[in-house]
Amino acid sequence: MGGYGDVQMIDENGLRMDGRSPGDIRDITIETGVIPVADGSCRMTWGTNEAIVAVYGPMEAHPRKIQRQDRAVLDVAYNMAPFSTTDRMRPGFNRRSREISKVTKDALESVVLLELYPRSKIRVTIEIVSAEAGTRCVGLTAASVALADAGIPMTDLVVSVASGKINDVVVCDLNKEEDNYGEADLPMGIMPNSGELVFLQMDGNLSQEEFKQAWKYNMDAAQVVHGMMVEALKGGGPQ
């Protein structure tokens, strides 16, 4: 979010640098069952973002001190591969990845029926192998597909989409330049069947009207992405 207002990212016809209209999202592909040893897995590409998620469990929670007597614990680890960006990422966890792991865990805890598996653990590993912008959204969305693929009971899937503001125009699904030089960013995690929110963050400033527009873009995009998630889950495995 550089906020460099002189970078022109939207032309006189209202098209963005990559040719999309303000409400368009980038191309998405979703594939399930990509890691044979995992209980559930998903590979998701979103523009040039790519996330691979593996889910293991429910399993015995170790060390025992992390066990909860009334429910399972979710162990979410988000990590960006060193080769995922043009500048090499230093391997291992950092403050950003810890933050994203935490917000992803909190969002997923809203939908996973953890009380069915007391004292156990469900491990969700999110690996970003190619990063453009919006990796937390890709990670969370792919994690919800992988959890469903693993047969973990959930009240709904979670779709995460971000909208933002560039050159005073609200746009959906920011790409790298828009994210770097835009004026605001609003990632949301949405339960598509009920329209409930499980996650919301905001960076930058939006007026009430702009916020409502970004909200609407996110809600509309969530329905499109949800359709693709359902398609991937129902088509999973050889016919």
Partner 1 sequence: MNSGPVARPDNMAKKNGAAGPRGNIRGQTLVVPGEDLGDSGDFEAGHGVMAISGRLKAVKQGRLREKGGSISVDPTHTRYIPRPGDLVIGYIEGCTNNLWFIELGAPFNAILPMSLGPGKVDFGGTRSVMDIGDAVLCRIQEVEETHSSVVTMKGMGLRKIRSGVIEEIDPHLLGRLIGKGGESLRRLKAETECRIVVADNGRMWIDGELDGILDVRNKLSAISERNSGGED
Binding site for partner 1 (CB under 8 A): 27-36, 38-41, 57-60, 69, 72, 111, 113, 117-120, 148-157, 191-194, 223-224, 226-239
- Nearer residue to partner 1 within complex by CB, 158 or 206: 158
Residue closer to partner 1, measured from CB, 139 or 182: 139
To partner 1, the closest distance from the beta carbon of 130 in angstroms equals 16
Closer by beta carbon to partner 1, 39 or else 210:
39
Q: How far are the Cα atoms of 3, 5, 87, 133 from residue 162, in angstroms, in the given order? A: 17, 20, 23, 10
Q: Which is nearer to partner 1, 149 or 173 (CB)?
A: 149
Are 45 and 232 in contact, with CB atoms under 8 Å apart? no
Q: Which neighbouring-strand residues pair with 169?
A: 166
Q: Which ranges of the chain does DSSP label H, i.e. alpha helix?
A: 95-109, 135-149, 176-181, 208-234
For partner 1, which is the closer residue by CB, 23 or 118? 118
Query: Cα(153)–Cα(108) distance, rounded to whole angstroms?
Result: 12
**For residue 11, which phi and psi values (nearest 5 degrees)?**
-90, 180
- Of the pair 168, 231, the CB lying nearest partner 1 is at 231
Cβ-proximal residues to 117 (8 Å cutoff; 6+ apart), any chain: 58, 71, 72
**DSSP assigned state of 236:** -
| Residue 52: CB minimum distance to partner 1, A | 12
Q: Which of 199, 196, 195, 171 is nearest to 185 (CA)?
A: 171
Beta bridge partners of 54: 41, 125
